[in-house]
Amino acid sequence: MNEVLDTVIWLVNMPATHGYAFVFIAAFGSFGLLALTFKTSSGDTHSAALRRIRMERGLPVGDAPSGPGPLSIVRRWFFGLLSIVVLGGGIVGLASLIFGPVTGAYIYANGVEVEAESIDSDYVRFTAEDGQTYVLSYSFFTAQSYPEDEMLAFADRVVVRYLPGHPQAYVLDTRASTDTTGRPLGS
């Protein structure tokens, strides 16, 4: 297994499994971040207008700024990168709302299989190979089930696949999970 790719999938899994929240955050947060990114440094347009008015009235005019300072450039780069990350999370969240969690196939193919101890409408509980018990959120709108996009409401035995280095990235295996009659839920 590739630890770097597992870590990237683990990070992308957060917006993928919390689709509505990340779409909301991206939709509204990106406006402010982009405004901070493209804001003129230290109000240059206001400074130019003030300088012109001072010249017209014969008041002393201060030295004209020579350009954006280094702190302004760092700020613009920081907010630019942050806006790309926020918009990327919104795109992943929207894709997961439409198509199901986009990280599910990778976790299904590379994950470790364990049986869930319990599952309810909001949480799934399982014990990883290392003995650590995890109680993780299970969203109704972006359900972490793969390969079928089903809610496991009638499952008797639920199988969880998780990334070994990052158990918070998991999917519920609908092919290995069975209903009360012992038949697999997925096809």
pLDDT number for residue 187 = 60
Give domain status of residue 186, yes or no.
no
> Could you tell me if 89 and 10 lie in one domain?
yes
pLDDT number for residue 137 = 84
State the pTM of this model. 0.76
Least confident of 21-25, 54-58, 132-136, 160-164: 54-58
Domain that holds residue 157: 104-179
> Could you tell me if 18 and 52 lie in one domain?
yes
Give domain status of residue 184, yes or no.
no
Give domain status of residue 130, yes or no.
yes
Give dist(CA 90, CA 71) in Å, integer: 28
Q: Is 67 left (phi over 0), alpha (psi -120 to 50) or beta?
A: left
Last residue of a domain, one of 99, 134, 153: 99
Last residue of a domain, one of 46, 77, 99: 99
* Reported confidence tier of residue 12, pLDDT bands at 50, 70, 90: very high
> Could you tell me if 78 and 111 lie in one domain?
no
What is the number of domains present in the chain?
Answer: 2
pLDDT number for residue 149 = 62
Task: Report which DSSP code applies to 126.
Answer: E
Give dist(CA 135, CA 122) in Å, integer: 10
62-85 confidence digits (pLDDT tens): 765 556 678 888 989 999 999 999
Give domain status of residue 187, yes or no.
no
Contact indicator for 141, 97 with CB cutoff of 8 Å:
yes
Mean pLDDT on 109-129: 87
134-151 confidence digits (pLDDT tens): 998 887 777 777 766 665
> Could you tell me if 27 and 77 lie in one domain?
yes
Mean pLDDT on 97-123: 87
